[in-house]
Structures are given as C-alpha cells and as structure tokens.
Amino acid sequence: MGDSARLAQLARQLRVAGKDQTSAIRRIAYAAVEAIDGAEYASLTLVSARGVLTTRVAVGDLARQCDRVQQQLGQGPCLDAAAGLETVVWVDDMATETRWPEFAHAADSLGIAAVVCSTLFVSEDGSLGALNVHSTTPGSFDADARSLGELFAAHAAVEMASVYDNDQVRIALTTVTPSADLRTRRHRLLGLPRLLRPAQHSTLRRLLPDPR
C-alpha cells in the first residue's frame, strides 16, 4: 500500500470511528491489524506515572493476555515503548529473545512469537502509552511494518489528546480526505508536532515526503 493510500485509509477510519474516544481508538487498533503485514492482534495500553498498566483497547484475547503478563512481571517491550526508552520496540522471535527473559518465555508459552510496540504519547496527567501489534509467526514485522505501526500510533495519540480539549487537532486530521492533494494532507499532519514525539514526527515526514 502506498503512502497516499495509507493516509487515506487512516482518515476514513477516523471519520467512521464514532463520537467517543474509545470507539475511535478501537477502530484504529482494528485498522492497524488489517493494514500491518503480519499483525494478528493489537492492544493500546496506558502506563500511569505509578507504573500501572491498563489495556484501553484489545483486538483479540492474546493481546490482552500479553499486556497482563507484562504488568505482572514488570518487564516487556510495551513497558519500554511506553516509557519512551525507544519509540519503537520489537521482538522478532520470543523463543530467542533475551532482553526480557521472563516475559519472552511467558509470551512464547501463550503463542505470541513477534510483537511491535510503538510509543504513543505523553499525557498531561503523567500517563504514557503504546500501540502494540502481535503475531504468532516469528519474524513477521519488517521495517515497513514497524514504520506503519508508528504512523498508527501517531493517529491514536491525536485521538487520545482530544480528552484534553485538543479538538482542533482531531478536526485537522479527520478533514484529511482522499480527495485532498498529498501536499495538503502532509501539511496538516506535520502541523501537529506538539502531540507527537520527535521520532513519530520524523516518521510522518519519512512516510509522507514532500511532493514538490
């Protein structure tokens, strides 16, 4: 799928997501599973300033179980992504993963073989977040899949930001229609750096090059 088609798809997902925030981010999570090659499950998780992990949205029970394991063990890629240690954290094969040995063993036992976790946002109450996609097949997520995960996370961040009265941001994004020219869509999205981590903003620039 080309850059323009990806962006058009995300805009359509937001337009039909519904009025409330939960419906919108659930739609984004489902769209991530549909659009990211290799993705079978997804979750959007929040980690409070006290380190409490909450699964806000889960696509498939395995995604929720994966979050629960990380909460119980206090380790895992979602926690690292939410903490901003890296903006994208991924595991190619749980069977050989060594960074979080207890988590990797537990996830492998659940049947989760690969995962990509993208940093979501930093909210005004000190909570952090991550958008996570999972696969039961090792090596499922290539560089394109990881970049697309960042793009979905950026859109989810905009939706989450609406709870802090950033309605203008949502309007700017949802008016990015397929009929708009690429330069207009790029300008509107890249005009939201305050809500995106620097690396996510850079990802948007990479995925949406200036058409001039």
3-class DSSP string for the chain: CCHHHHHHHHHHHHHCCCCCHHHHHHHHHHHHHHHCCCCCEEEEEEECCCCCEEEEEEECHHHHHHHHHHHHHCCCHHHHHHCCCCCEEEECCHHHCCCCHHHHHHHHHHCCCEEEEEEEEECCCCCEEEEEEEECCCCCCCHHHHHHHHHHHHHHHHHHHHHHCCHHHHHHHHCCCCCCCHHHHHHHHHCCHHHCCHHHHHHHHHHCCCCC
Arch. (CATH architecture) of 3-203: 2-Layer Sandwich (3.30)
For residue 52, what pLDDT is reported? 81
Each domain of the chain, given as residue ranges in start order, spans 3-203
φ, ψ at 41 (rounded to 5°): -140, 160
Q: What is the mean pLDDT of residues 88-96?
A: 97
Q: What is the mean pLDDT of residues 42-59?
A: 86
Residue length of the chain: 212
For residue 142, what pLDDT is reported? 95
For residue 69, what pLDDT is reported? 96
List 131's β-bridge partners, or say none.
44, 118
Name the average pLDDT for the chain: 76
Across 33-42, 44-53, 85-94, 198-207, least confident range = 198-207
Q: How far is 21 from 83, CA to CA, in rounded Å?
A: 22
Dump pLDDT digits (tens) for 54-79.
898 999 999 999 999 999 999 999 99
Q: How far is 147 from 57, CA to CA, in rounded Å?
A: 21
For residue 85, what pLDDT is reported? 77
Report field, pTM of the whole predicted structure over 0.75: no
